[in-house]
A = this chain, B = another copy of it.
């Protein structure tokens, strides 16, 4: 079968077409004929070599997000049959296949039927982003009715799902936006208020939107020094959830306010083979929410064929994408 691989880390043009043996199904697994994948920031970082420890051996097939059709079902898998339309974040890292190929072997525990109301290509936008947002806001921060939840990076791949999940959980949702057009999208996704963070100091929006009390939950999808701003904007005994926490930070504000910091790294089940069944369960719940019109992926208007994956990575790295960028096979 044909796959797109990297044989070294590097710029977006490092991808190469490669003939690889088709995967044989193994116990507990399914083979998915890939309909689409989507680009996540972690895919770019792996390609760049910034997360070399996570990368599969060369030639490495990247991309975890996959949607497609089950073509083979391994021993012990009762939930799926050949022909099922499924989605998952099932690879792209050490120890598993990747979605930039015609066929992908996937641990059935990570897989769920795609939302019925969503096209098979569009379903590829959801897995990594929705599992991350679900783990962050529903499982870890336990967002509940009446809480004030600030979501940083409103139209990002993870944050646009975060807005919808926090709203579904009953919170009042504040989305930080860099432009009027993004604020418009954030409102359509369910944000109650938009904060133009480039024009406001943290103390100013804490004053204006929370009467100086601070936000109950803050979702940081930006990372780096944004965590310090999250600490600053949090309420007493508040919660910050970050999906990108690799920096050095002064923890004093956490002490003064008695804060909680959750760091979510959704690839742990994939990398360490623990708790994978939770990902399948989350994706089933996400599919239900999509079919109930409570959640929908924000998909960038630019789509790419798998042969254009270099362009897709370039586009994502330019920062111009709105929501998720889909790559179809």
Contact = CB atoms under 8 A, between A and B. Distances in A.
Interface in A124-142: 140
Contacts of A251: 227, 245-249, 261, 263
Interface string A210-248: 000000000000000001000000001100001011111
A245 B236 contact: no
Interface string A8-34: 000000000000000000000000000
A329 to B, nearest CB: 31
A254 B248 contact: no
A252 B244 CA distance: 9
Measured as residues with beta carbon below 8 angstroms from the partner, the interface class of chain A is 20 to 34
Nearest to A256: B265
A260 interface: yes
B268 A261 contact: no
A275 to B, nearest CB: 8
Contacts of A245: 251-252, 254-255
A78 interface: no
A140 B275 CA distance: 22
A310 to B, nearest CB: 28
A115 to B, nearest CB: 26
A268 B255 CA distance: 10
5 contacts: A227-B251, A236-B272, A251-B263, A257-B263, A260-B263
Nearest to A139: B237
B258 A261 contact: no
B261 A261 contact: yes
Nearest to A259: B263
Closest 9 A/B residue pairs (Cβ): A258-B265, A254-B263, A245-B251, A245-B255, A246-B252, A261-B261, A260-B262, A248-B250, A258-B268
A274 interface: yes
A264 interface: yes
